[in-house]
Amino acid sequence: MTEGLCWRKTEGSHEFILNYVDGYSPAWKEAIEARGNRFDMIKPCFDAAIWIAHPLAVLSRVDRRDPIPRLYQRVCQMIDQALRTNQTPFAPAAADTVSGTWQHVYVLEQLFQLGRLRKNQSLLGCVIDEVNDVVIPLAKKTSYLFPLSFNRRTIERAGAGDCHAVLGAYANFMLDLHEMTASERYLEEARNASRMLHRLPVNTIHQEVFLLAMGTQAAYRLAVMHPLANYEEVYHYLLAQTLRMLYWYADRTTEQSRRINTLGMFQACATISYPALFENIEVLARLCPTFKRFPPSLALLRVVDHARKNNFYFFPRCFDAGRGELPLQYIPFENIPILEGPAPGSVGQEIYGSGWVFRACLMWETFGHADDRDIMVLNLDAFEERRQLEQGRFELTFIVFNGTDKRQQAQLAFPWSSVAAMIATGESPDAIGVGERCGQRLQLDLAPDAVVYVRVSDRIGP
For position 438, what pLDDT does the model report? 78
For position 319, what pLDDT does the model report? 76
Q: What DSSP designation does 159 have?
A: S
Nearest to 137 by CA among 154, 123, 124, 122: 154
H-only helix segments in 19-155: 26-34, 46-62, 68-84, 101-118, 121-130, 136-141
Are 385 and 395 in contact by the 8 Å Cβ rule? The answer is no
Question: Which parts of the chain have pLDDT scores under 70?
Answer: 320-324, 435-437, 462
Instruction: Characterise 300 by phi-psi region: left (phi > 0), alpha (psi -120 to 50), beta (else).
Output: alpha
For position 247, what pLDDT does the model report? 93
Nearest to 459 by CA among 386, 363, 378, 395: 395
Amino acid letter, residue 246: L
Query: Using CA atoms, how far apart are residues 319 and 231, in angstroms rounded to an integer?
Result: 42
Query: Using CA atoms, how far apart are residues 231 and 238, in angstroms rounded to an integer?
Result: 10
Query: Using CA atoms, how far apart are residues 123 and 354, in angstroms rounded to an integer?
Result: 23
Exposed / middle / buried, residue 12 (Cβ in 10 Å: 0-12, 13-18, 19+): exposed
Instruction: Please list the residues that pair with 455 across neighbouring strands.
Output: 397, 424
Q: Which residues does 450 contact at the CB level (< 8 Å), separation at least 6?
A: 400, 401, 402
* 186 CB neighbour count, 10 Å cutoff: 22
Query: Using CA atoms, how far apart are residues 61 and 134, in angstroms rounded to an integer?
Result: 34
Q: Which domains does the chain have, with CATH numbers?
A: 1-88+247-263+291-366 (no CATH), 93-244 (1.50.10.10), 375-459 (2.60.40.1180)
What order do you get walking across the sheet with 369-370 strand by strand? 369-370, 408-413, 441-446
Nearest to 138 by CA among 193, 212, 215: 193
Are 264 and 235 in contact by the 8 Å Cβ rule? The answer is no
Are 42 and 8 in contact by the 8 Å Cβ rule? The answer is yes
Query: Using CA atoms, how far apart are residues 137 and 139, in angstroms rounded to an integer?
Result: 5
For position 436, what pLDDT does the model report? 67
For position 320, what pLDDT does the model report? 64
Provide the b/e sequence for 297-317 (b: ≥16 CB within 10 Å).
Answer: eeebbbbbbbbbbbbebbbbe
Instruction: Please list the residues that pair with 441 across neighbouring strands.
Output: 413
Query: Using CA atoms, how far apart are residues 48 and 350, in angstroms rounded to an integer?
Result: 9
Are 453 and 425 in contact by the 8 Å Cβ rule? The answer is yes
